[in-house]
Amino acid sequence: MNFRLYTLTLIALLGLGFHASANETIPAPPAIAAKAYILLDAKSGRVLAEQNADERLEPASLTKIMTAYITFQELSKGNLHLDDMAPISPKAAKLEGSRMFAEAGSAVAIENLLKGMIIASGNDASVALAERIAGEESAFAEIMNQNASRLGMANTHYVNSMGLPSPGHYASARDIAMLARALIIEFPEFYKWHAIKEFTFNKIKQPNRNRLLWKDPTVDGVKTGHTEGAGYCLVASAVRDNMRLISVVMGTKSDQARASTNGELLNYGFKHFETRPIYKANEKLTEAHVWKGSESLVPAGLKNDFFVTFPRGQYDSLTASIEVGNKSVAPVKLGDKLGEVKVTQNNEIIARQDLVALEAVEKGGIFKRLLDEIAMMIKN
């Protein structure tokens, strides 16, 4: 595809002024004693630090993030309601490991099962949700894998809903961070439960195992995990100055270590990086030419708000470019790709998003199509 290229510095584009030097260097991330870790910005998706982030590891109870994600989907679609009751099967009730202590043969509200899974990390709650949604856990695992594929989780495969060790059950730190980001962005009304510090069920009070909820008031989730093979794992997320970061640490040696390492990563990210909005979704940025259409021009913009994460104080070193294709032929549908918007820093692309049609353009009349056909032949 050929493109027309527009390039603007972001200062000129947004009318803002900054004076920090673009030559300041960012220190290396802290040394993390873990099998794998990753730190990313939730709004832009930019990775700020990583180690072995694509290695397939045992995820332990980090698995439950996907179980929560799918349950939230069912609630949002209206297929499930918070006050719906779910039966507790003997299989769910007798599971080893962390539990909410739901009794076999009883029925528990979906809301309580979710809280029992998110806060108390209940294996019984996870299986009860899986059986309520899909009939049996193996069928639910198929749904989990379908969602993993849709989200681009290339190094993840689920066998169960709760994370007990099983052959072929694995995930990578990068994939888990992507999933946590999707959960936070898509389901904010349910994500808030990840910040609850205690949960009581059947007169048994259990604390949230995420130590950072007590140590750092900016942390509001996400999930802990532990088995002998996986080690101590934690997905943490925090918001400071309207910037949200997500850290995933897998395979540390202790409960204390998983909390402290995630805290170090979050502090590193907030100290040395910042995130700013560049363009809003569905706003016209430019126009693209359309051949053989009822209109010759179509407004072009972005499907989603465009955020950029960059070294703190270096906003004035960023450059935005809008590349517009010149071979679009009607019909053009709403949302069709017409080009690309890129943000670069020191000649390196640090963010990009598709430029799309903000309106549909139907085919033009026969004479318009014929004239454009001749013009296209001459132009080519």
Burial 99-113 (b: 16+ CB within 10 A, else e): bbebeeeeebebebb
For the cut 90, the answer to whether the pLDDT of residue 14 exceeds it is: no
For the cut 70, the answer to whether the pLDDT of residue 20 exceeds it is: no
Active-site entry in 61, 237, 247, 317: 61
Burial 35-48 (b: 16+ CB within 10 A, else e): bbbbbbbbbbebeb
**CA-wise closest residue to 41 among 170, 194, 184:** 184
What is the structure's pLDDT at 17? 30
Question: Are 203 and 302 part of one and the same domain?
Answer: no
Question: Mean pLDDT, to the nearest integer, of 361-366?
Answer: 90
Question: Mean pLDDT, to the nearest integer, of 39-46?
Answer: 98
Question: Are 195 and 80 part of one and the same domain?
Answer: yes
289 token code pair: 């030419």
Active-site entry in 35, 43, 64, 292: 64
For the cut 90, the answer to whether the pLDDT of residue 380 exceeds it is: no
CATH code, domain with 177: 3.40.710.10
E-assigned strand segments in the chain = 3-9, 36-41, 47-51, 85-87, 107-109, 198-201, 204-207, 219-227, 231-240, 243-252, 273-279, 286-291, 297-301, 306-311, 318-325, 328-329, 337-345, 348-357
End residue of a domain, out of 237, 252, 267: 252
Question: Are 60 and 208 part of one and the same domain?
Answer: yes
Question: Are 70 and 96 part of one and the same domain?
Answer: yes
**CA-wise closest residue to 65 among 205, 214, 138, 171:** 171
Separation CA 209–CA 206 (nearest Å):
9
Question: Are 54 and 187 part of one and the same domain?
Answer: yes
Question: Are 135 and 245 part of one and the same domain?
Answer: yes
Active site residue 247: no
Q: Binning pLDDT at 50, 70 and 90, where does residue 285 land?
A: very high
What is the structure's pLDDT at 4? 52
Active-site entry in 98, 121, 260, 328: 121
Active site residue 166: no
Q: Binning pLDDT at 50, 70 and 90, where does residue 10 land?
A: very low
Question: Are 300 and 362 part of one and the same domain?
Answer: yes
In a domain, 273, yes or no: no
In a domain, 215, yes or no: yes
In a domain, 271, yes or no: no
Residue 297 belongs to what domain range?
3-18+278-379
In a domain, 263, yes or no: no
Question: Are 57 and 182 part of one and the same domain?
Answer: yes
- How confident is the model over 266-284, as pLDDT tens digits? 999 999 999 999 999 999 9
What is the structure's pLDDT at 372? 64
For the cut 50, the answer to whether the pLDDT of residue 22 exceeds it is: no
For residue 331, cis peptide bond before it (omega within 30 degrees of 0): yes
In a domain, 269, yes or no: no
Active site residue 121: yes
CATH code, domain with 312: 2.60.410.10
107 token code pair: 């029925």
- How confident is the model over 116-137, as pLDDT tens digits? 999 999 999 999 999 999 999 9
- Bridge partner list, 290: 328
For the cut 50, the answer to whether the pLDDT of residue 23 exceeds it is: no
- Average pLDDT value over all residues in the chain: 92
- How confident is the model over 169-227, as pLDDT tens digits? 999 999 999 999 999 999 999 999 999 999 999 999 999 999 999 999 999 999 999 99
For the cut 90, the answer to whether the pLDDT of residue 371 exceeds it is: no
Question: Are 313 and 374 part of one and the same domain?
Answer: yes
- The total number of structural domains in the chain stands at 2
- Among 19-33, 182-196, 292-306, 327-341, the minimum mean pLDDT is found in 19-33
Question: Are 74 and 178 part of one and the same domain?
Answer: yes
End residue of a domain, out of 218, 252, 286: 252
End residue of a domain, out of 217, 252, 287: 252
In a domain, 262, yes or no: no
Question: Mean pLDDT, to the nearest integer, of 305-318?
Answer: 95
- How confident is the model over 143-160, as pLDDT tens digits? 999 999 999 999 999 999
Question: Are 139 and 176 part of one and the same domain?
Answer: yes
In a domain, 225, yes or no: yes
Question: Are 222 and 352 part of one and the same domain?
Answer: no
In a domain, 370, yes or no: yes
- Bridge partner list, 3: 325
Burial 175-193 (b: 16+ CB within 10 A, else e): bbbbbbbbbbeebeebbeb
**Does 156 or 21 have the greater pLDDT score?**
156
Separation CA 170–CA 215 (nearest Å):
30
Question: Mean pLDDT, to the nearest integer, of 72-100?
Answer: 97
Separation CA 118–CA 223 (nearest Å):
7
Q: Which helix (H) or strand (E) holds 73?
A: helix 64-77
